[in-house]
Amino acid sequence: MIHSDIMTKTNDTALAKLRADYAALGDHLDRRGIDITVIKSKVATYGVAVPSWGVGTGGTRFARFPGSGEPRDIFDKMDDCGVIHQLTRATPSVSLHIPWDAQPAADLNSKAEEVGLTFDAMNSNTFQDHPGQAHSYKFGSLSHTDAATRRQAVDHNIACIELGQQIGSKALTIWVGDGSNFPGQTNFTRQFERYLDAVKQVYAALPEGWTMLSEHKMYEPAFYSTVVQDWGTNLLIAQQMGEKAKCLVDLGHHAPNVNIEMIVARLTQFGKLGGFHFNDSKYGDDDLDTGSIDPYRLFLVFNELVEAESDPDFDPMHMLDQSHNVTDPIESLMVSATEVQRAYAQALLVDRTSLAGFQDANDALMASATLKQAFRTDVEPILAMARLEGGGAIDPVAAYRASGYRARVASQRPAVSGAGGGIV
Ligand code: LRH
Ligand code: MN
Ligand code: MN
| Radius of gyration for the chain, computed over Cα atoms and rounded to the nearest angstrom | 22
What is the residue with the minimal CA distance to atom 5 of ligand 1? 321
For residue 421, what pLDDT is reported?
46
Please work out whether the CB of residue 175 comes within 6 Å of at least one atom of ligand 1.
yes
- For residue 252, give the ligand 1 atom closest to its CA: 8
**Closest ligand 1 atom to 423 CA:** 6
- Cα–Cα separations (whole angstroms), residue 161 to 79, 113, 146: 24, 21, 23
Q: Ligand 3 center to residue 268 CA distance, Å?
A: 21
All structural domains of the chain: 18-410 (3.20.20.150)
Q: For ligand 1, say whether the CB of 304 is within 6 Å of any of its atoms.
A: no
52 within ligand 1 shell (Cβ under 6 A):
no
Give the position, in ligand 1's atom list, of the atom nearest the Cα of 123. 10
| Residue 322 Cα to ligand 2 middle (Å) | 8
**CA 7 – ligand 2 centroid, Å:** 33
Whether ipTM exceeds 0.95: yes
Taking the C-alpha atoms of residue 120 and residue 211, their distance in angstroms, rounded to an integer, is: 11
Indicate which residue's Cα is closest to atom 7 of ligand 1.
285
Residue 416: per-residue pLDDT: 84
- For residues 131 and 82, the answer to whether their CB atoms sit within 8 Å is no
Task: Note residues around ion ligand 2 (Cβ under 5 angstroms).
Answer: 250, 277, 321
Report the atom number in ligand 1 closest to the C-alpha of 220.
Answer: 7
287 lines ligand 1 (CB under 6 A): no
Whole-angstrom Cα distance, residue 89 to residue 86? 6
Q: Is the CB of 341 under 6 A from ligand 1?
A: no
How far is the C-alpha of 68 from the C-alpha of 320, rounded, in Å?
22
CA of 368 to the centre of ligand 2 (A): 30
Choose the residue to mutate in 94, 141, 217 for probing ligand 1, maximizing ligand atoms within 8 Å of C-beta: 217
Q: Which ligand is closest in space to the CA of residue 424?
A: 1
CA 94 – CA 112 distance, rounded (Å): 9
215 in ligand 1 pocket by Cβ < 6 Å?
yes
Q: Which residues surround ligand 3, an ion (CB under 5 A)?
A: 285
Ligand 1 contact via 210 beta carbon (within 6 Å): no
179-180 vs 171-174, strand pairing mode: unpaired
Beta bridge partners of 211: 171
User: Strands of 118-124's sheet, edge to edge?
Assistant: 50-51, 93-98, 118-124, 171-174, 211-215, 245-250, 273-278, 317-320
3-state helix, strand, coil in the chain (%, to 5): 50, 10, 40
Check pocket membership of 277 for ligand 1, CB cut-off 6 A: yes
**DSSP code string of 294-328:** -HHHHHHHHHHHHHHTTSTT---EEEE---BSSS-
Distances from the Cα of 272 to the Cα of 55, 368, 423, angstroms: 30, 27, 29
DSSP string, 188-213: HHHHHHHHHHHHHHHHHTPPTT-EEE
70 Cβ closer than 6 Å to some ligand 1 atom? no
- Probe ligand 1: pick from 100, 321, 323, 423, max atoms within 8 Å of CB? 321
Strand partners, 348: none
* Short-list 222, 329, 224, CA closest to 279: 329
DSSP secondary structure code for residue 84 in this structure: H
C-alpha 84 – ligand 3 centre gap (Å): 22
Alpha helices in 49-208 (DSSP H): 74-88, 105-115, 147-166, 188-204
Short-list 131, 87, 58, 96, CA closest to 285: 58
pLDDT per residue as tens, the chain (424 positions): 899 999 999 999 999 999 999 999 999 999 999 999 999 999 999 999 999 999 999 999 999 999 999 999 999 999 999 999 999 999 999 999 999 999 999 999 999 999 999 999 999 999 999 999 999 999 999 999 999 999 999 999 999 999 999 999 999 999 999 999 999 999 999 999 999 999 999 999 999 999 999 999 999 999 999 999 999 999 999 999 999 999 999 999 999 999 999 999 999 999 999 999 999 999 999 999 999 999 999 999 999 999 999 999 999 999 999 999 999 999 999 999 999 999 999 999 999 999 999 999 999 999 999 999 999 999 999 999 999 999 999 999 999 999 999 999 999 998 887 754 445 4
